[in-house]
């Protein structure tokens, strides 16, 4: 019999997405299915989710879930079971999953996501008789309270279930004031340094990390990095104390969504053997961004525009990039000051730099299919997906050597090129000279077409689909649930 796993998250492709978390949560059920795992996903009922599932069957009604009426409805995520927490007072709002139209976080985020966690713990405790779960897998702070409820306030007489807490980004911890504790419905015993208390307030990610049977993060290098203050962001001590209960499992990409041979968004589909066809995508991209054709590489960026992503340093390097014959097409949104600086750079370099502020999934595919190189100069990067898409699409990744970027891209140094393993450009330490040098190296490599093509092909052959990581997650679930 298959192992029943409840995966809990605040985002899942194709229903709702603000970042890589959604890609992973959406792909995981299919990734683990071949290894004897039946995964059900639980997500909040935002407007986009409710619209997508249409009329769905109610499997439980709450009169009062963290202060609001709610119901659990059964639907499908692709071919896999989905449960949606429909709580209109929490989730039926204009704006994003975490913030209102003004960009400010919802003031009751602690309550909204505690409700998600409570519902998950109830489901795991047998709330709905027909649905039994052997293990709960919580993603990020928004789902972390599921594990705190399982630990401190499980459904009466339910048997304990093992759990996995995956950290997709340590920078987001779900930290709230002390006053919210009494509203969470947890016993006083949960208020302790190895419970939900954190620096005098409530730490939701921290509470999940304390309660989890195993903590995972999304690359082996990041799993190491978060043991240090620079990356652990205050939780490094807890990471170290959990020892070998902290593992790194690199994300995969979903070939149903990301495969240049079948991508419906591209003008021309291609494989590693028909790279020449990419040129049609490149021309379309140039037209889209108002760029002049040129001899140098067309760099792309698809990113949140934030300090984490190194976008401030990229801004400094743009004049150099254009000066040595590069062009740039950038798609992103985030920090308002950065958005206007990128717009200003496009005005300063007409025909050389094109900027699209916003979020556009289809365009992001066309950029990977037509760009020559994708820049990912992150200060830290738990895994990173855009470099994986770049590898799969022959859009050579130019990345900082950190986290998942270090684990997934092989630098095109002489040795790697001779060995036929190079897949991109890496640089260490993010500042103007290192990023400018990496851009220069990329331009130089681009002007050696045979070498460039080899790097593109190597990247396209590297297998970052879910095949490998799906197996590793499934093995972890089996390990934690024991012989059956
Ligand atoms: P993070 O989750 O930290 O933002 P990742 O690289 O793990 O970074 O995942 C980002 C995901 O969001 C990728 O699928 C990327 O293509 C997508 N993305 C980021 N910004 C945009 C945008 N402006 N438009 C479309 N897709 C975007």
How far, in Å, CA of 449 to CA of 377, rounded? 24
CATH code, 275-463: 3.40.50.2000
Query: Which of 301, 367, 385, 391 maximizes ligand 1 atoms within 8 Å of its Cβ, making it the mutation to test the pocket?
Result: 385
CA distance 50 to 209: 30
pLDDT in tens, 320-351: 999 999 999 999 999 999 999 999 999 999 99
Which of ligand 1's atoms lies nearest the C-alpha of 387? 6
Which residues in 59-98 are b (16+ Cβ under 10 Å) and which e?
Answer: bbebeebbebebbbbbbebeebbbbbbbbebbbebeeebb
Identify the residues whose C-beta falls under 6 Å from ligand 1. 19-21, 23, 169, 302-304, 331-333, 359-361, 364, 383-386
Alpha-carbon distance 480 to 135, whole Å? 8
CA-376 nearest atom, ligand 1:
6
User: pTM for this one?
Assistant: 0.94
Confidence of residue 175 (pLDDT cuts 50, 70, 90): very high
Structural contact between residues 192 and 221, judged by C-beta atoms closer than 8 angstroms = no
The enclosing H or E element of 117 equals helix 109-124
**With 70 as the cut, is the pLDDT of residue 374 above it?**
yes
**CA separation, residue 396 to residues 59, 125, 319 (Å):** 47, 47, 21
Predicted pLDDT at 1:
82
pLDDT in tens, 216-275: 999 999 999 999 999 999 999 999 999 999 999 999 998 888 999 999 999 999 999 999
Q: Which atom, in ligand 1's list, is nearest to the CA of 218? A: 7
Give pLDDT, residue 254.
86
- Give the distance (Å) from ligand 1 centre to CA of residue 304: 7
Closest residue by Cα to residue 20 from 150, 204, 171: 171
Helix (H) or strand (E) holding 463: none
Torsion of CA 416, 370, 449, 432, to 10 degrees: -60
- CA of 297 relative to ligand 1 center, distance in Å: 22
Domain range list for the chain: 3-252+467-481, 275-463
Mutation pick for ligand 1 pocket among 16, 20, 368 (CB with most ligand atoms within 8 Å): 20
Q: Tokens 């992001």 correspond to what residue?
A: 364
User: Regarding the domain delimited by 3-252+467-481, which CATH topology (the fold level of the hierarchy) does it fall under?
Assistant: Rossmann fold (3.40.50)
Among protein residues, the one whose CA lies closest to atom 17 of ligand 1: 19
Same fold, 3-252+467-481 and 275-463: yes
CB 155 within 8 A of CB 132: no
Q: What is the DSSP letter of 42?
A: E
């Amino acid at each position: 019999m298959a192992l029943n796993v409840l995966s809990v998250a605040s985002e899942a492709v194709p229903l709702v997405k603000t970042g890589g978390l959604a890609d992973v949560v959406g792909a995981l059920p299919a990734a683990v299915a071949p290894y004897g795992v039946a995964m059900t996903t639980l997500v909040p009922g935002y407007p986009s989710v409710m619209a997508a599932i249409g009329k769905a069957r109610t499997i439980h009604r709450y009169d009062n879930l963290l202060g609001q009426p709610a119901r659990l409805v059964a639907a499908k995520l692709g071919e896999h079971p989905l449960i949606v927490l429909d709580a209109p007072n929490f989730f039926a709002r204009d704006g994003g999953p975490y913030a209102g139209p003004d960009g400010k976080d919802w003031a009751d985020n602690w309550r909204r996501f505690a409700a998600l966690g409570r519902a998950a713990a109830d489901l795991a405790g047998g709330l709905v008789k027909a649905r039994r779960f052997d293990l709960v897998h919580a993603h990020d702070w928004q789902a972390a309270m599921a594990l705190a409820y399982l630990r401190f306030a499980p459904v009466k007489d339910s048997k304990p279930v093992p759990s996995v807490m995956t950290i997709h980004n340590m920078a987001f911890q779900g930290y709230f004031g002390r006053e919210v504790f009494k509203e969470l419905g947890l016993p006083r015993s949960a208020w302790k340094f190895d419970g939900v208390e954190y620096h005098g307030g409530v730490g939701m990610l921290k509470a999940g990390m304390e309660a989890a049977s195993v903590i995972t993060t999304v690359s082996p290098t990041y799993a190491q990095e978060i043991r240090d203050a620079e990356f652990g962001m205050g939780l490094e001590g807890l990471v170290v104390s959990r020892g070998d209960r902290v593992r790194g499992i690199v994300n995969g990409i979903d070939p149903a969504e990301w495969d240049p041979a079948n991508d419906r968004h591209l003008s021309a589909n291609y494989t590693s053997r028909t790279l020449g066809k990419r040129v049609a995508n490149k021309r379309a991209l140039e037209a889209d961004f108002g760029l002049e054709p040129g001899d140098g590489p067309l760099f792309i960026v698809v990113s949140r525009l934030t300090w984490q992503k190194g976008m401030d340093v990229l801004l400094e390097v743009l004049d150099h990039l254009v000066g040595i014959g590069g062009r740039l097409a950038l798609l992103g949104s985030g920090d308002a000051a950065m958005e206007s600086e990128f717009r200003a750079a496009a005005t300063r370099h007409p025909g050389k730099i094109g900027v699209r502020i916003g979020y556009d999934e289809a365009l992001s595919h066309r950029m990977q299919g037509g760009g020559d190189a994708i820049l990912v100069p992150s200060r830290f990067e738990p895994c990173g997906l855009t470099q994986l898409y770049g590898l799969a699409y022959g859009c050579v990744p130019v990345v900082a050597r950190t986290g998942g970027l270090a684990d997934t891209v092989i630098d095109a140094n002489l040795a790697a090129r001779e060995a036929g393993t190079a897949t991109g450009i890496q640089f260490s330490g993010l500042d103007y000279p290192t990023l400018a040098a990496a851009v220069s190296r990329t331009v130089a490599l681009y002007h050696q077409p045979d070498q460039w093509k080899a790097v593109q092909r190597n990247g396209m052959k590297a297998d970052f689909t879910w095949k490998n990581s799906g197996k590793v997650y499934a093995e972890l679930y089996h390990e934690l649930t024991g012989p059956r």
